[in-house]
Structures are given as C-alpha cells and as structure tokens.
Amino acid sequence: MQWETVIGLEVHVQLATRSKIFSGASTAFGSEPNTQASAVDLGLPGSLPVLNEQAVAMAVQFGLAVHAGIPEVSVFDRKNYFYPDLPKGYQTSQMYHPIVGPGEVEITLDDEVTKRIRIHHAHLEEDAGKSLHEDFQGMTGIDLNRAGTPLLEIVSEPDMRSAREAAAYLKAIHSIVTYLGISDGNMAEGSMRCDVNVSVRPKGQEAFGTRAEIKNVNSFRFVERAIAFEVERQIELIEDGGEVVQETRLFDPERDETRSMRTKEEANDYRYFPCPDLLPVVLDQAYLDHLKGQLPELPADKRARFQNELGLSAYDANVLSASREMAEFFEEAHQVCGDAKQAANWVQGELSGALNRENLGVVQSPVSAQQLGQLIKRVVDGTINGKAAKEVFQALWNGQGRDADEVIEAKGLKQVTDTGAIEAMIDEVIAENPAQVAQYRDAEPDKRGKMIGYFVGQVMKASRGTANPQQVNGLLKEKLDALR
Amino acid sequence: MHNQTVTQLAAALKSGELSSREITAHYLQRIERLDGKLNSFISVTAEQALNGAEAADKARAAGDTHALAGIPLALKDIFCTKGVKTSCGSKMLDNFEAPYDATVVEKLSAAHTVSLGKTNMDEFAMGSSNENSHYGPVKNPWDLTAVPGGSSGGSAAAVAAGLVPAALGTDTGGSIRQPAAFCGITGLKPTYGRVSRFGMIAYASSLDQAGPMARSASDCAHLLNVIAGHDVRDSTCATRGVPDYTEQLNAPLSGLKIGLPKEYFGEGLNADVERAVREAVKVYESLGATVREVSLPHTHYAIPAYYVIAPAEASSNLSRYDGVRFGHRCEDPKDLIDLYTRTRAEGFGEEVKRRILIGTHTLSEGFFDAYYIKAQKVRRLIRQDFLDAFEDVDVLMGPAAPTTAFDLGAKKDPVSMYLQDIYTIAVNLAGIPGMSVPAGFVDGRPVGLQILGTHFAEAQLLNVAHQFQQATDWHLQRPALAEENA
C-alpha cells in the first residue's frame, strides 16, 4: 500500500526580550543557576506578573510577517500542573484567545518549488525552569533562570507531507524570526524547540490517521530523523495489523528513535482558565500599523527581489535570502561591486567555503562585505584576474592589508593587459620551447585546442599570474597558428 | 488614649500633645496584657514598632506633614512584610519571611505609620469566623464566647478591643465587612483595583481587595488616602487618580437617594438585626435622605457563583505551596509525589483543602463550562444588577450579615458558614465598594449596617457613613475589655 505522511509542527521560539515575560529579571543564557530568578519567577506568595510589552510587540511582528490576523483582544490563561521546575504550579499561556490568528508561511523545496504551509495560530507563554538530575547524588537540582522566559509557540496546520517539508518549514520559521530580530534562533541553546505531530494514512484517504506527538526535536536534522523513524514505525505497526495510539513520544537523538512518554489516558488535565492577575491584551489598529511600518524586508520578498530585480537564479536567491545576515552581507557586497551574479558567486563560493572551514557565522567573517565588494569590483573592472582575486581574498582573510587595492599593490597582482608586454612574454615562451612548438605545428587543427593550454600556463607563470588569461589565449593562438 | 480615634490621635501628634513613642508604647502594653484573651495577633513586632515610633517623632519634628505619621497600626498577616513572618494563618507559611514589603505596607511606612504586628486570620483568608487559623481562633472582644467574624477577625478584634487604633484587612467575599460588623467597628472594602494587591497573598485574585478597619469612617478615609492608588506591579490595579477621601466627609446628605434591596431583607435575616438596620435607615431619613426599595434579582445566585469562581482561582493560586522552594515541607519525602501529597496534606487546614478540591473539580475537563463559564456569566448579571440599581439610587443599604456574631464552634457545617456571606459576597463579584458601620446591638453583640456604592464611589460611601456617625454614637460604644486600662 502507498502511504502518505501528515505532519504538523509546534515550534517554541524564545523571544529575544531583555527581561522575562512577566518580571524584570534578565533572560541572558548561561548564568549561574538561580541568579536570574526574581520573586515573580520563584512564584513567591504575593508576587504578581506584569506583562512585558516588548514580548507582545515581537509576537505581533511575527503575526504580521506571516500575514496572520491579529485579534483585537487576546487573553492569558493558566495551564495548571505540578512539576518542581514550574514554580507557581501553573504555566501562564494563551489557550482560548491567542495573540496571533491564522496565517501562512511559504517554504521552498527545490529551486523552483514552493509550498504554502498554514499557521493555525501563535501564542505567548512563559518557559519553565530546568530540572537537573545529575551531580546531586540522587537528588534533583532546580534552576529557575529560564523560568518566565518569553516563548512564542507557533502551531502549524497539518499541511506537511514529508520530513523534508517539515525541515523546510522549520527553516522558514527560523529565517522569519531571525529576520525580524525577535529571536536569536539558536537551537543549540534551546532558543527554538520543536514538537512534531506525525500520522500516516493510505494515499488518497481523506481522514487523518491517529497521530503521535514527538517532543524534544531540537535541530533541523533531528526533525527529519525523528519523522523518518516515526513514519516507518507507524507504517510497520499498521501493516502488521496493529494500531497507532494517540500518545506523546520522546525523540532520542543518541539512539535515533522515538519512545513512548505517555498515552492519551495518562495525559494531564491542565484545567485551563483565564489568568485573573493579567488584563486582556487589547491592541488597536494604530499599534498594528506602527509595527507594520517597522517590519524589515522578509525572506520571501527578498528572495523574489533577488530573482526579479537582480537576475539571480532561484537557487542563488534562495540560499542568499535564507538568513538575514547572509542576505545583508550579499547586498552590501553587491552595492560596492555592482555585479549581482559575481557577488552571489563570491559569497556562496569563496566566502562560505572559508567560513565553513573555520566554523564561523557570516557576521564573524574576517573579510567584511565592503572588502569583498571592492575585491569583486577589481575583478569586474579587469584590474585583477580570477586567480589573483583568490590570492587577494586569502590575504584579506588573514588580515594582510586594509582593502583589495592595498593587497593588489603590495603583491603586484595587477593584471597585465598591455598587448605588447604579453606578446613579448609569448615570444619568449615560444623561443624557449621549440619541441612543444614543433609538436603544435605538426598537429591536426582539432588537436591544437588542447595543446595550447601548456603554452598559456607557461605565459601565466612568466607573468606571475598577472597576465590577462583571455588575452594570453588569443594572442598565443594567433602567433602559434601563424608559424609555418 | 486607646479610646481615641486615628483622627484624634493624629491631631494630638500634630499639636505635640502626644508622641508616637508614648502612643505606641501604650498600645504595645495593651496587646501584651490583653491579647492573651483574644488571640488577635500572630506576630507582635514591639522593637521595630518602638524604633519606628521614634523615627516618626523625629520626622514630625523635622516637619513631616504626613497626616498619619506616628500612628500605630496592625496588618492582617496576609500582607508580606520584609523581615517579619507572613503566615497567612497557615502552617504552610509558618516559616515564611517575604523578601519584600507589600505595596500597601510600603505606602504605610512611607507615611511614617508604625506597625505593631501582624493579625490573626482564617487560613489563606478562607473563612467567616476566624476559626480556620493555624494559630487558633480569635475571640470577639464583646463576648469571648463569640467569634469575631472572618477572615480579617484578628484585625477587627484588635481594633474593637483598643489594642490598636486601626488595622488593614482584606475582603474577598466579606472578610472586612462581616468581622467589622461582628466587632462593632467601621470597615471599608474599596472598589476592586483601588488598592494594589502586590505583596498581598492571593486567595481569589479577581475578588481580593485590601481595605481599612477602624473606629470611624473618618479614620478609614485617612487610611484609604495612604493605601489607594495605581501600582505598576499589579496589572489589575486601577490607574484612576486618588481624591482626598476626607474632603467630602462633611457634605450634607439632603437629597441622598437610598435603595434597600428587597433580597437583603428576606428569609434568613435575624429579626432583631433587621430592626436595627431599619432604625439606622430612619436616621438617614432624618438627615434628609429618601429611601426606596430596589431589587437585585440575581442575589440568590451570588453564593453559588462565588463558590465556583473563588475556589477555582484559589486551587490554582495555592498550587505554588509544594514544598519545593519555600514554606512547609514534609520530612524525608520518598519521591516527588510523596513530597507533594504529604507537604500539602500537613501544611493546609481542612477548609483550605475543601476549597482546593472544589476548585480543582470545577476547572476539570467536562465540568469547566457547566461551572466556571456559567459562574462568570452569573457574575456579569450580578454586576449588572448593581449598575441598574445605581441608575436610580446613590447608595444601597442593608445588613452586613444575617445575624450578629455567633458562638465559637456553633457552625460545623460549611454551607451554613458560607451563608454568612450572603449580603457581602455579591459586592466582590461586582467589584463595587462596600462598608460596614456600627448600627446597634442585639443581646450585647454589635450589628453592622452595610452601605454600598458604585465603582470608585469610596468618597461618597465615607461621607454617608461619617454623617451617620455624626448623628449616632454606636461606633463610640466600647466592649468592657477596651475600657480596661493597661
């Protein structure tokens, strides 16, 4: 039987506010345990939450970016359950009236294929603390630094049909939140976490199969692996005459498998009700217009502009718009050099290669966009040839020289385009290689094309790489073919 | 000295006739000598009080113009106080010291008032008799075999017995007004949001409100001047400006329109209490007010609605008492569930457990719509009843409680205890302000007249109460205990 996979994602995005969603404590990552927990975060008696307006603005910006409706009124609810790292015995969340209504995100699958994934809603909530089970001789330590950190939970419709689509969707969300600057998107530090709902159904069947929710899927790679495992598990189960039960499963990246955490029967009754300590959030049109006016150009718009206005290929446009930093780097380099295609090639080729080798992000690049742009400009205007440009890039990467011109000057890499000078070098090479010249002369014309490479190499060598290769090629051919 | 009102003591402090140190020392002596009979205090902070009194005297000498500088007060043990235990009447918090002052405590300190200590209360403010305290019941100063009312019973008894000139209480369903009535003092529950709830331990967040308990309406006005106002730390606190509540006290009442809700004079109301209340209304007529009967048709739904909403909020608010971070923790828990169950079984009293169970049930899947959502609808109807009534009349009057103070141990059945709040509870659901004012006695036990106004009508309520107290002397009556000299 042919099976179809149905996937929906719940993505928790940690918002990059300075302070927590309901207290003034800092949200900085990696501090000593319990040094960033205020009375509110500890749930001390008498403490009260006060909503962080920055968190509201960030959630609304996300909503606007995914073309979602922003309801005039949203309400915080309490989700009640007991856990040691949940200080108040409830999580303040939004169950019934979320801040962001239905929207949609465009994902790119192959170069040309895009698909729209609908967003059911997105809501604000506070994070819990962390339970630390190691290093305490059988006891559990509680770190409440993370308690009260603002999260935006983005819930998709079950619109994805493959692990690849799910990963593309997660990347699209990552791209949007980092473009907006509302999250650092750092998955390793837990700034983006993902729960995946997976079910399978016979191809052509309309009704959804029973789904399993997989928790703790915290990287793009894990999303694909967890789904792949889970889909296989469910299909095998059904084909063996079994039934998928609705349950929560945990992804174990070490063993590359999902394990049952709890079934529906064991699920908590969270007893949601409106939080009486917080007023409903009321947003008027003027506020929405104000935030709309501040939105940066978003990935999808950038991608379209790169293709339509700059003439980049779909592939290039997609890669270069994936992250805001990469896109901004490219655009600055392009502005300086004036050649979009060259800028795209350099950013994706030489620069990305070097960054990957040293495991650096584009913002940490030793070669600035300004420097790269100028370097490309010198290639475009013929000052240096491609080979010399790579040498200049390496020099700039190593911090040798302020800009391309300085390196070109210091290393004498300026391209020789003077015909007379090149002809002199050619004559010298012909004179020094009588055997090869004879061979060339005696060869059939269709074999000569291959043989000319040797002479080009010799001339380039003689010019220490500075001769214009096209010119060298042309002149050599002329001279050699003229020999009798 | 201890028969004087805050207003009188403030005048004596201002003229230099008395020092805060003298007044404070006097009240501390009375607490020491008499509170053994009443059990109205959980903590007495004598040393801090005397230091505070000296600081207040110095501040006055240096030109401090705070009207209440140097006045001793007591705080219900629900208000967090930095460095002093805040128990909320519970074993759960017997070891709890907050690292901060409640906003009202900060405001009272900034006004240079002097706290004598923390008063006894029903555990987590759940009760109408003060018999639900981990620290034992409080006795009524008028009759030591009677309850003082609750949950602010300690504050009411201490003021009535002259152990302190005034105190703060809180009112979620009548917890200021009913004990004020039972102890023959004046108590005001302000509009929801008029006074900050920050640092006030939550029972039912959408209903809780702090207010003054004192010997006169004028005293309450002075105290409300200090504690009212917006607080950025409480999102539900009103941003509206605060008037001087003493300014309107002496306005004449001619033309005042009084409504008597017929539902407040029905079955269950003690006939003698009713007689006293109707006598009080006659006094108002003599002051130029007109009286008419009005109806609050949804009154009989108030208690059921309250006992859905308040326990629902409480069940969630009290989840934080889990033995993990503060408060009581059971000995040697064998696992997490054991830690939770024994900590909470040991730390909470019967009534608190009962309300947590009710609230947990009504919020549960399958019951939420039938209970919680329905109760919220009823709540809106009750609020509308009051708004409709205030279209026709300025204030509403009736009894604060169906009877006078009952005997200790008399109400064993929780429902009969809940019915105590039949006239007070709807006021919290509607969020409007209400007062209880002494209006006579039945068999030596005080009767309270309840006066209700529309949202933020505190100045008018205080005026109406003050004019009654200019015309009567019920509020000047003292129990024998208060006549005893320390």
- Percent of chain A at pLDDT > 90 equals 69
Confidence of residue A58 (pLDDT cuts 50, 70, 90): very high
Q: For the purposes of burial, counting CB atoms within 10 Å of the CB of B108, is it exposed (0-12), middle (13-18) or buried (19 or more)?
A: buried
Out of A48, A272, A278, closest to residue B198 by CB: A48
Residue A463 has pLDDT above 90, yes or no: no
Whether A349 and chain B come into contact, CB under 8 Å, resolves to no
User: Are A273 and B340 within 8 A, CB to CB?
Assistant: no
The residues near A260 (Cβ < 8 Å, ≥ 6 apart) are: A247, A248, A249, A250
B428 located within any domain: no
B82 located within any domain: yes
B383 located within any domain: no
Active-site annotation of B, residues: 76, 151, 175
Out of B197, B316, B324, closest to residue A48 by CB: B197
In this prediction, residue B486 carries a pLDDT of 52
Calculate mean pLDDT across residues A429-444.
87
In the block, tokens 């900034």 appear at: B110
B285 located within any domain: no
ipTM of the complex: 0.96
Q: Are the C-beta atoms of residues A231 and A37 closer than 8 Å to each other?
A: no
B287 located within any domain: no
Residues in A closer than 8 angstroms to B371, CB to CB, are none
Q: Tell me: the pLDDT tens digits for A405-416?
A: 999 988 888 888
Residue numbers in chain B where pLDDT is lower than 70: 485-486
Higher-pLDDT residue of A470, B187: B187
Confidence of residue A111 (pLDDT cuts 50, 70, 90): low
How many domains does chain B divide into? 1
In the block, tokens 């008063």 appear at: B119
Q: Tell me: the pLDDT tens digits for B229-258?
A: 999 999 999 999 999 999 999 999 999 999
Cis peptide before B286 (omega within 30 of 0): no
Residue of A nearest to B313 (CA): A276
Q: Which residues, in sequence order, are bridge partners of residue A141?
A: A132
The residues near A293 (Cβ < 8 Å, ≥ 6 apart) are: none
The pTM is what? 0.90
In this prediction, residue A413 carries a pLDDT of 84
Distances in whole angstroms, Cα of residue A182 to Cα of each of A61, A104, A173, A191: 8, 18, 11, 11
Helical pair B302-317 and B350-362, crossing angle rounded to 10 deg: 100
Q: Of B436, B469, B447, which is closest to residue B276 (Cα–Cα)?
A: B447
What's B241's domain CATH number?
Answer: 3.90.1300.10
B76 located within any domain: yes
User: Are B363 and A278 within 8 A, CB to CB?
Assistant: no
In this prediction, residue B485 carries a pLDDT of 65
User: Are B320 and A87 within 8 A, CB to CB?
Assistant: yes
Calculate mean pLDDT across residues A449-454.
84
Q: Tell me: the pLDDT tens digits for A356-392?
A: 999 999 999 999 999 999 999 999 988 888 888 999 9
User: Are B320 and A278 within 8 A, CB to CB?
Assistant: no
User: Are B368 and A273 within 8 A, CB to CB?
Assistant: yes
Calculate mean pLDDT across residues A159-173.
95
Whether A276 and chain B come into contact, CB under 8 Å, resolves to yes
What CA–CA distance (Å, rounded) separates B248 from A437?
117
Residues in B closer than 8 angstroms to A269, CB to CB, are 364-365
Pick the residue of A34, A271, A278 with the most B CBs within 10 A to test the interface with B by mutation.
Answer: A271
Q: Are the C-beta atoms of residues B342 and A59 closer than 8 Å to each other?
A: no
Residues in A closer than 8 angstroms to B99, CB to CB, are 39, 44
The residues near B290 (Cβ < 8 Å, ≥ 6 apart) are: B255, B256, B257, B258
User: Are B206 and A276 within 8 A, CB to CB?
Assistant: yes
Q: Tell me: the pLDDT tens digits for A258-302?
A: 999 887 777 789 999 999 999 999 999 999 999 999 999 999 999
Domains detected in chain A: 3-287 (no CATH), 297-411 (no CATH), 419-482 (1.10.10.410)
- Specify the DSSP element, H or E, that contains A478: helix A469-482
pLDDT, chain B, mean: 97
Q: Tell me: the pLDDT tens digits for A217-229?
A: 888 999 999 999 9
Q: Of A15, A237, A86, which is closest to residue B325 (Cα–Cα)?
A: A86
B382 located within any domain: no
Strands A212-215 and A247-252: parallel
State the smallest CA–CA distance between residue B135 and chain A in angstroms: 19
Calculate mean pLDDT across residues A163-191.
94
Whether B364 and chain A come into contact, CB under 8 Å, resolves to yes
CB atoms within 10 A of CB B369: 9
In this prediction, residue A316 carries a pLDDT of 93
Whether B377 and chain A come into contact, CB under 8 Å, resolves to no
Residues in B closer than 8 angstroms to A89, CB to CB, are 316, 318-320, 322
B55 located within any domain: yes
Q: Of B75, B61, B74, B66, which is closest to residue B19 (Cα–Cα)?
A: B61
Residue A315 has pLDDT above 80, yes or no: yes
- Range(s) of the domain holding residue B232: 6-251+460-483
Calculate mean pLDDT across residues A85-104.
97
